[in-house]
Structure 1
Amino acid sequence: MKQNKYDEQGFFEKYSQMPRSTGGLKEAGEWPALRVMLPDLQDKRVLDLGCGFGWHCRYAREQGARSVVGVDLSENMLERARELSEDSAIEYRRIAMEDIDFAEGEFEVVISSLALHYIEDLEDVCRKIHHCLVPGGTFILSFEHPIFTARAAQDWYVGSEGERLHWPVDDYQSEGPRYANFLETEVVKYHRTVATHLNSLIRAGFMITELCEPQPAVELLDKYEGMRDELRRPMFLIISAVKR
């Protein structure tokens, strides 16, 4: 299923008001960890899958990338990305991630940030990414942690006074769709175990080089209410892999 909630105007307006939408990468709690996992981008051809507002596309160019292609299904997202970009070396294309069909060896680096948990067939997308990378090329992907996606509720268990007691984990081994509430809208996410994520990459021909379960950036811990609770369980998983 190819979801395009971001072209629903009400949903897009709410998303546009989120801190990571207005403040960019510095407001994304996982960004410091993801940044250090990126390879040298100097003179690289980069693909960003699920590029959204194009924050990673512009960062890649700031780091010297030769060219960047940003792919997203939402025209609202791409329109905003184009408004924020004045760089002829960045090209934005409206394509579903499931439908990418790039030439063999077209890129040296592929990035996908917090997008692949919306994809039903992860292994197929991994094979397509493997195909469009040069040998030795790098794939950096982040997604919501399986501990976070296991239950559709995606919320804390609270006490009688509303205090956050613990983060419940249930149905972890039951993979498949989760109908979650995000910005007061039902969205479909696909829960997979950590092992399934890793094995999907391995079967597609990748070698895993690093895993990270990032904590929130220190400077954000006291900036937003409840951010310190993000130290109590992982919300994201980041993987670095190379094409064998």
Structure 2
Amino acid sequence: MVYRYSDFYDDKTVFEQYINQRRSVDNLNDVIEKPILVDLIGNVKGKDILDLGCGDGEIGFDFLNHGCLSYTGVDGSKNMIDFANKNFAGVKNAQFEKSLLQEWNFPTRAYDMVVSRMSLHYLSDSDLLNLFNEVYQSLKVGGEFVFSVEHPFATFNNYSQDYYEVGEQVCYWLDNEVIKVHRKIEDYFNLLQQAGFKIAGLRENRRIDELEGEEKKMPLVLLLKSEK
């Protein structure tokens, strides 16, 4: 069975594997992606933050502990939202909603910052452009949008074997098949600019000597920061 979007994480076995992986001290999200993301985000004190594809919402604790005004997480996976609600039980100023990102009803000019971690490479170009448009109108004046995705070098090497062959690719991950979308770096730029954003930063992960094989020879994550 080939999964699409958040249905992947509503498979019980996949979800358990994912949570166990994220709990490990050397998980790639926390070792490679999170430090760069936090650096791009900067000061969150007094900010209303929206997290798209929030998963278990773990980073919300960091935001709240550093003074953010509110944290809202949206994810299409029931397993993820249930897990997040359990983790955040009794925590003030945090809320979670179950919805596919491309179907969520975005409020207007409600957030100072929108973040998304390793989720947007599941969306088609048309869905991603629509999402960028929704994010733009949901931000307050001067608001920021920071997100991470699988680096295009990684997606073409692992799945398509051709950097210029963009589109959906079947990826084997966590012992199952799931559809992800390979696109070029400039595609993310163009879609953001079409939505009205100004690009404020681009980052890739550093070389990770502890990795083996081809993963050691290329960036695995791409992060972009843009402003309204």
Normalising by structure 2, we get a TM-score of 0.89
1:13/1:174 CA distance change after superposition, 3 Å: same
1:88/1:34 CA distance change after superposition, 3 Å: same
Does residue 17 of structure 1 match 2:20?
yes
Alignment identity in percent? Answer: 29
| Kept after mapping to 2: 8 A contact 1:216/1:227 | no
Q: Could you tell me which residue of structure 2 aligns to residue 166 of structure 1?
A: none
Cα distance between partner residues in 2 of 1:3 and 1:95: 9
Deviation track 1:91-116 (CA, whole Å, cap 9, x = no partner) reads 01101110122221010100000000
Q: Could you tell me which residue of structure 2 aligns to residue 157 of structure 1?
A: none
1:78/1:28 CA distance change after superposition, 3 Å: farther
Displacement of 1:215: 1.8
Q: Could you tell me which residue of structure 1 aligns to residue 78 of structure 2?
A: 75
Cα distance between partner residues in 2 of 1:216 and 1:45: 33
Query: Which has the greater radius of gyration?
Result: 1
1:189/1:52 CA distance change after superposition, 3 Å: same
Which SS does the other structure have where 1:43 is aligned? coil
Q: Could you tell me which residue of structure 2 aligns to residue 118 of structure 1?
A: 122
Identify which range, 186-195 or 97-106, moves more after superposition: 97-106
Q: 2:41 aligns with which of 23, 38, 42?
A: 38
| Kept after mapping to 2: 8 A contact 1:73/1:95 | yes
Displacement of 1:88: 2.1
Q: Could you tell me which residue of structure 2 aligns to residue 149 of structure 1?
A: 155
Cα distance between partner residues in 1 of 2:74 and 2:53: 6
| Kept after mapping to 2: 8 A contact 1:213/1:237 | yes
1:202/1:113 CA distance change after superposition, 3 Å: same
Q: 2:100 aligns with which of 90, 96, 105?
A: 96
Q: Could you tell me which residue of structure 2 aligns to residue 160 of structure 1?
A: none
Cα distance between partner residues in 1 of 2:45 and 2:78: 29
Q: Could you tell me which residue of structure 2 aligns to residue 158 of structure 1?
A: none
Does residue 130 of structure 1 match 2:115?
no
1:76/1:173 CA distance change after superposition, 3 Å: same
**Structure 2: 5+ residue runs without aligned partners?**
none
Q: Could you tell me which residue of structure 2 aligns to residue 162 of structure 1?
A: none
Q: Could you tell me which residue of structure 2 aligns to residue 177 of structure 1?
A: 168
Which SS does the other structure have where 2:108 is aligned? coil
Cα distance between partner residues in 1 of 2:128 and 2:118: 13
Which SS does the other structure have where 1:53 is aligned? coil
Cα distance between partner residues in 1 of 2:147 and 2:173: 21
| Kept after mapping to 2: 8 A contact 1:29/1:216 | no
1:11/1:208 CA distance change after superposition, 3 Å: same
| Kept after mapping to 2: 8 A contact 1:57/1:68 | yes
Cα distance between partner residues in 1 of 2:218 and 2:28: 21
Does residue 240 of structure 1 match 2:225?
yes
Displacement of 1:190: 0.6
Normalising by structure 1, we get a TM-score of 0.84
Which SS does the other structure have where 2:32 is aligned? coil
Code of the residue aligned with 1:9 in structure 2: it is K
Q: Could you tell me which residue of structure 2 aligns to residue 139 of structure 1?
A: 145
Q: Could you tell me which residue of structure 2 aligns to residue 59 of structure 1?
A: 62
| Structure in which a larger fraction of residues adopt helix | 2
Which SS does the other structure have where 1:124 is aligned? helix
